[in-house]
Structure 1
Amino acid sequence: MRNSSRYLGLELAGAKNQKTALAVLEYYPTEQKVFLLDIYDRIAMEERESSDEALIALIEEFKPGDGPEAGRQVSKIGVNVPLVLPPCAACIRKACPMPAKCSVPAVRWMRGVTKKAARRPSTKKTVREFTPYTQRPIELHMRYEVMPGLPLSHRFEIDEALGGNRAPLTARMNFLLRHLAGGSGWIDAGDLERAGVIEIWPKLSVALLGIELGIPKRAISQYRHLEQGGHSREEILEALVEKHGLFVYDRDLRKLSQSLACFDAFICAYTALLADIGKCVKSPAGFPVKSGWINFPAKSSGARG
């Protein structure tokens, strides 16, 4: 059997709809080839199991066992939702001094980076009051350090971990992680590391891969659109096939092009692969990594070369 590694990408949606998708990639480092093994969509409640049970069972199929898949352990799982709660949400201190005086490392870092951004001409107009009960340090890092470096056409609004759009998904993911990572109570960075689960922002990965692959700005800005998105997603996939050694069956190529959820699941899996082979950006010195980190492609990324 040729040496290979397996990666999963999870595009998590609400438990009561059918938009959750899971992508499975196989990477052969010697040949520098990436194969999309399968893409599962519409993962939802079945007659005898809940949507959470169905999703956990599907992921468990790819873990080591006694069957034909034994030995093909999943190296990493890339997920599109927050894996760690904001510092105040997980705080167990009896007394709260308020964010302006808090000594918790993550909150202290947030306070410092906000002050720094307020003094910087390029970011001072975008500075907002930070709220460590809905935000994490990584969201501030993205807002003030990463987004300004992207072309205007590639930037996007950042959702907070416990903001209106993400809070239910963050809660669902924390519940799922108790089963996937074997933790108890609130999941911490140690649980995530042991389980090989990492957080991905598909929109950011697509933006950076688009720059590296020379994909037209139009395709990047429209890949999530209802009408033009299918063609743009196909354009991105074709570039990955040509330049990054990706192999996708025609039927799966159509599926990824037609379904944004499936496409984002694939991007999560592919970014997890890049993270595993050292082609994602590392956290800067002093960043409180235990508060959560987003894995995103570095310059000159790609599974080939």
Structure 2
Amino acid sequence: MAELRMASNGTAEVIEVATRSGRLPWTDDTLIGRLAIPDPERVIAVDAPLTQAACGRCDRPVCPGTEACEEPAVVWLRTEGRGLVQKVGAETINGGPRALQHGSQARLVPYAHRATDVVMTYQRGLLPLSSLGAANSQITARAGQLRRRLRGAGYQLHGNLLEVSPAATIAALCGPRAARGYKRDADPWVTRAQILERFGDLSFAPQSRMAREDVLRNDHCFDAVISGYTAYLWAREGWELPTGCFAEDGWIFSPP
């Protein structure tokens, strides 16, 4: 977990990075104890899916099937989503220039895929194909519970509770090579240091002590700081939620 604040000069400042809550691990209760504090000036950014795929949210007693379903997110998947996948496939086959991180095609299904994941993967090229389907996991279930518990403290999805992806933020600002390498390079410390150097509006406060070294050494700490930095950019630049099915289906906020 990382805590950042907006400094008096308008830049982002890391004031704490913590892998534990004192001597305790970040269990559900310790995490809620730290985060569920009403504060109109605070924004919480979570690097995990905060919504389920459409079928997971559905309460219909009988499923009409993907082709007949009128749920907006399902309609989007079988129209715009399929179009994005087919477009990428055609460009790959025809040898066109590729800026995306993959050349494979996915079979989109509403019980596994969300519209935002398809956009980030096939339209913007910020996330790899392996990220598709991440909305069905134990991590998603835990993030969903966190979202519901934080609602009691006044944190609303897309308002002051954001779903983010450090990898997507890094890909947007530093390129896909850096996004792949900050965890996988032979010496990821160097890659992480280079990424931080590119963020001239991000610094470490004196009271953060050894936080910068922890961030460079630990990929979880690094992800936490980039998540907080993404929330800072969201607040500073006023990113808006796209219209359509994304309010309910979910949206990963990342630099445009």
TM-score range, shorter chain: 0.7 to 0.9
- Residue 222 of structure 1 contacts residue 229 of structure 1 at CA under 8 Å; is this kept in 2? yes
Greater Cα offset, 114-123 or 103-112: 114-123
Deviations 1:88-134 (A, max 9, x none): 11101122111111111110011102332355222686332212112
Deviations 1:2-29 (A, max 9, x none): xxxxxxxxxxxxxxxxxxxx1111103x
Greater Cα offset, 270-279 or 122-131: 122-131
CA distance in 1 between partners of 2:242 and 2:92 (Å)? 18
C-alpha spacing 1:239/1:78, structure 2 compared with 1 (3 Å): same
Size of the aligned set, in residue pairs, is 242
CA distance in 2 between partners of 1:104 and 1:44 (Å)? 45
Shift of 1:209: 1.9
Q: What is the aligned counterpart of 1:244 among 183, 186, 201? A: 201
Segments of 5+ residues of structure 2 without an aligned counterpart are 94-102
- Residue 114 of structure 2 contacts residue 249 of structure 2 at CA under 8 Å; is this kept in 1? yes
- Residue 14 of structure 2 contacts residue 202 of structure 2 at CA under 8 Å; is this kept in 1? no
Q: Which amino acid aligns with 1:141?
A: V
1:294 paired to 2:235: no
Aligned to 1:54: 30
C-alpha spacing 1:45/1:90, structure 2 compared with 1 (3 Å): farther
Segments of 5+ residues of structure 1 without an aligned counterpart are 1-21, 65-72, 184-189, 212-216, 299-305
Q: Which amino acid aligns with 2:233?
A: L
C-alpha spacing 1:130/1:219, structure 2 compared with 1 (3 Å): closer
Deviations 1:69-100 (A, max 9, x none): xxxx4431110000011111110112211111
Percent of paired sites with the same residue? 26
CA distance in 2 between partners of 1:131 and 1:273 (Å)? 33
Which is richer in helix?
Answer: 2
Deviations 1:224-250 (A, max 9, x none): 13741112112212222xx22534446
Counterparts of 1:93-172 in structure 2 under 5 Å?
A: 93-117=60-84, 119-120=86-87, 121-122=90-91, 126-147=104-125, 155=128, 157-163=130-136, 167-172=137-142
CA distance in 2 between partners of 1:94 and 1:37 (Å)? 49
Aligned to 1:180: 150
Q: Which amino acid aligns with 1:122?
A: E
CA distance in 2 between partners of 1:155 and 1:115 (Å)? 17
Counterparts of 1:1-305 in structure 2 under 5 Å?
A: 22-28=1-7, 31-43=9-21, 46=24, 51-60=27-36, 63-64=38-39, 73-117=40-84, 119-120=86-87, 121-122=90-91, 126-147=104-125, 155=128, 157-163=130-136, 167-182=137-152, 191-193=156-158, 196-211=160-175, 219-225=178-184, 227-240=186-199, 243-249=200-206, 251-278=210-237, 280=239, 282-298=240-256
Larger relative contact order, structure 1 or 2 (CA cutoff 8 Å, min sep 6): 2
* Helix, strand or coil at the partner of 1:129: coil
Shift of 1:285: 4.9
C-alpha spacing 1:247/1:279, structure 2 compared with 1 (3 Å): farther
Provide the TM-score with structure 2 as the length reference: 0.82
Deviations 1:191-229 (A, max 9, x none): 4246x1110111111112214xxxxx7654321137411
CA distance in 2 between partners of 1:254 and 1:220 (Å)? 20
